[in-house]
Amino acid sequence: MSRPKNQNYKGHGLSKGKEREQRASIRFKTTLVNTLMDVLRHRPGWVEVKDEGDWDFYWCDVSWLRENFDHTYMDEHVRISHFRNHYELTRKNYMVKNLKRFRKQLEREAGKLEAAKCDFFPKTFEMPCEYHLFVEEFRKNPGITWIMKPVARSQGKGIFLFRRLKDIMDWRKGTAGKKLTSSEAQPARSAVNPPGGHDARSSEDQKDEIPVENYVAQRYIENPYLIGGRKFDLRVYVLVMSYIPLRAWLYRDGFARFSNTRFTLSSIDDQYVHLTNVAVQKTSPDYHPKKGCKWMIQRFRQYLASKHGPEAVETLFSDMDNIFIRSLQSVQKVIISDKHCFELYGYDILIDQDLKPWLLEVNASPSLTASSQEDYELKTCLLEDTLHVVDMEARLTGREKRVGGFDLMWNDGPVSREEGAPDLSGMGNFVTNTHLGCVNDRKKQLRQLFRSLQSQKKASS
C-alpha cells in the first residue's frame, strides 16, 4: 500500500508485519557502481530495482538524501545508508562546533582531565565568521603553519597552506566573488530542527548578498610521523547503526595513505606533499598507478610495533578509539536518529611524531572505488560485512559483539573484549572490544557465526 507524497516518491509499501520477519527477496537500489554494486549483486536473495521501483534498501548519495528524504515514507524494515543531518559530523565547521560544545560540557560535568580527552582536534576557526578569533591565535603563535580547507569539498580540492596573514588577504579577495554550486551550498539547516540547535550564525551567512564558500583555518601539524621520509594519514571505517542509543562498530581493516613525495616544511606550495588524499596524489607527476601508495593498516601496526614496542602501539590505538567514540558522542544529541538510517564513516587520522593521533575529518561517503586488487578486496569485504551488520535478512540476534571484520565498539556504553558485563568501576581489567589493525579472519568468523545462528534457530523452532 504505497503512499505517494509527491511525484519523486521512492518509498514502497508491502505487507506490514513484524520488523524482524524474513523476506523472500530484498530489493536494493544504488547509484554507485564499482565495489558496492558487485557486493549487492552477489548477495543471495537481493535484487536490484531501477528507476522508479520500490526498494527495501537504498545506498544513496547525499544529494538524493537532501532532496528526498523528507518526502519519503519508509516501512519499518527499510534501510538507507545515511542519517538525515550527517553533516553535523562530516562538515568540518559543524564538527568543530559540536566538538567544542561537547568539550565545554564535559569540562563542566567531569572536569578538565576528562575534557582534555577531546583535544584530538587541531585548533580550528571557521572563516570568515571567526576571523578575528583566528587572528588573535595567529598572533600568539608567530611562524607556525596553518591550513585552509573548504568546508564542503572533498578529495583535497581548494586546500592550501599559509604562514602569513597576507596570504589570506589575497585569498579573501580572490574567493569573495565565488558563487557556490548547488552541491556545495550549505543545507538549509532551519528546515530541519534538531534539538539543541545552533546559534543564529547560519542566518547571518545567508544575509550575505554573494554567498561565500565557507572555509576553516586549522593549525597545521608540522611534525607528522614519517615512514620512509613520507607523510601519511590513516583511513579507518566506523559503522554507526544508531545514535540514540549510540551503537558503533569498528572495522579491523583500513589503510595508510602515503604522500608520493618526501616531507619537508619548506615546500608549502607543493600541494602534493602535504595532502595525502589519493585523489590529489593521482595527479602528482611522480604518481605511478601500480603503487597505489597505500599500506594496509595491519602492515602499519606491525611496523610501529617493531619500532616502538607493543605497549606504545596499544596506547596509540586506544587513543584512536577515544577519537571515534568522543566524536560520535559530540553529535549524538544533534543528529536525528532515525531507525531506518545507518552510516559508514571514513575517519581520516594523522599521527604525529609523539605517536599522538589527530582527527582530520570524518567522511560520510568514503570512496568505495578500488585503487588496486588489495584495495578491492578490502572494500568488498567491508561492504559485505556492513550488510551483515545491517542484517536485512534478520539473521542476527542483536547480541553479537563481532560480525566478520566489524567489532562492536560502543553499545550505549563501552564494550568489553571479555564476556559478560564490563567492569566500569575499576578501569583495571577493562580492554575495549576493538581490533583495528589486527588479524581479520572474517571468513572463518562469519562461517561460525551463521552456523551457530542457524542451529539456534532450528533449536527454537
Partner 1 sequence: MLQEESDLSLVIAQIVQKLKGSNLYAQLERQAWASLQRPEIKLESLKEDIKEFFKISGWEKKLQNAVYSELSVFPLPSHPAAPPEHLKEPLVYMRKAQGSWEKRILKSLNSMCTELSIPLARKRPVGEQKELLNKWNEMGTDEPDLSLFRPVYAPKDFLEVLINLRNPNYENGDSLSFRTHLGLIQVPLKVKDIPELKEFFVELGLTTGQLGIDDSTQVPPELFENEHVRIGQKVLAEQDSAAAQQYIRQGSPTALRAELWALILNISSQPEDILYYEQLKTNVIQHDLLVDSLIYKDVKLTASNDDYYFVFEDYLYQVLLCFSRDTSVLGHFAYNSASPPKSYIRGKLGLEEYAVFYPPNGVIPFHGFSMYVAPLCFLYHEPSKLYQIFREMYVRFFFRLHSISSHPSGIVSLCLLFETLLQTYLPQLFYHLREIGAQPLRISFKWMVRAFSGYLATDQLLLLWDRILGYNSLEILAARAYCQLL
Residues engaged in binding partner 1 (CB under 8 A): 227-230, 258, 261-262, 286, 288, 290-295, 299, 302-303, 305-310, 372, 374, 438-439
Residue in the structure block whose three cell numbers are 544513496: 60
- Burial class from Cβ neighbours inside 10 Å (0-12, 13-18, 19+) for residue 188 reads exposed
Are 235 and 246 in contact by the 8 Å Cβ rule? The answer is no
Find the shortest distance in angstroms from Cβ 442 to partner 1: 13
All three cell numbers of 129, joined, read: 565568521
All three cell numbers of 85, joined, read: 543531518
Instruction: Please state whether the peptide bond connecting residue 245 to the residue before it is cis, i.e. omega within 30 degrees of 0.
Output: yes
Give the ranges where 333-441 is alpha helix by DSSP (H): 373-390
Whose Cβ is closer to partner 1: residue 131's or residue 430's?
430
Q: What span, in angstroms and rounded, lies between the C-alpha atoms of 344 and 331? A: 15
Find the shortest distance in angstroms from Cβ 296 to partner 1: 8
Find the shortest distance in angstroms from Cβ 404 to partner 1: 15
All three cell numbers of 81, joined, read: 545508508
Whose Cβ is closer to partner 1: residue 20's or residue 291's?
291
Q: What span, in angstroms and rounded, lies between the C-alpha atoms of 151 and 120? A: 19
Are 233 and 363 in contact by the 8 Å Cβ rule? The answer is no
Find the shortest distance in angstroms from Cβ 355 to partner 1: 14
Find the shortest distance in angstroms from Cβ 408 to partner 1: 17
Find the shortest distance in angstroms from Cβ 166 to partner 1: 29
Find the shortest distance in angstroms from Cβ 305 to partner 1: 5
Residue in the structure block whose three cell numbers are 519523486: 8
All three cell numbers of 298, joined, read: 595491519
All three cell numbers of 314, joined, read: 596499544
Cα–Cα distances in angstroms (integers) from residue 229 to residues 30, 259, 293, 355, in the given order:
41, 10, 13, 16
Whose Cβ is closer to partner 1: residue 228's or residue 420's?
228
Whose Cβ is closer to partner 1: residue 16's or residue 291's?
291
Instruction: Please state whether the peptide bond connecting residue 128 to the residue before it is cis, i.e. omega within 30 degrees of 0.
Output: yes
Whose Cβ is closer to partner 1: residue 4's or residue 310's?
310
Residue 235, phi-psi category: left (phi > 0), alpha (psi -120 to 50), beta (remainder): beta
Of 296, 230, 305, 290, whose CA–CA distance to 262 is shortest?
Answer: 230
Residue 371 DSSP one-character state: S
Find the shortest distance in angstroms from Cβ 263 to partner 1: 10
Are 189 and 202 in contact by the 8 Å Cβ rule? The answer is yes
Whose Cβ is closer to partner 1: residue 246's or residue 256's?
256
Whose Cβ is closer to partner 1: residue 57's or residue 258's?
258
From first CA to last CA, the distance across the chain in angstroms is 31
Find the shortest distance in angstroms from Cβ 290 to partner 1: 5
Whose Cβ is closer to partner 1: residue 302's or residue 416's?
302
Phi/psi at 217 (nearest 5 deg)?
A: -105, 130
Find the shortest distance in angstroms from Cβ 418 to partner 1: 13
Q: What span, in angstroms and rounded, lies between the C-alpha atoms of 454 and 181? A: 51
Find the shortest distance in angstroms from Cβ 310 to partner 1: 6
- Burial class from Cβ neighbours inside 10 Å (0-12, 13-18, 19+) for residue 323 reads buried
Are 340 and 323 in contact by the 8 Å Cβ rule? The answer is no
Whose Cβ is closer to partner 1: residue 142's or residue 285's?
285
Whose Cβ is closer to partner 1: residue 275's or residue 293's?
293
Whose Cβ is closer to partner 1: residue 93's or residue 277's?
277
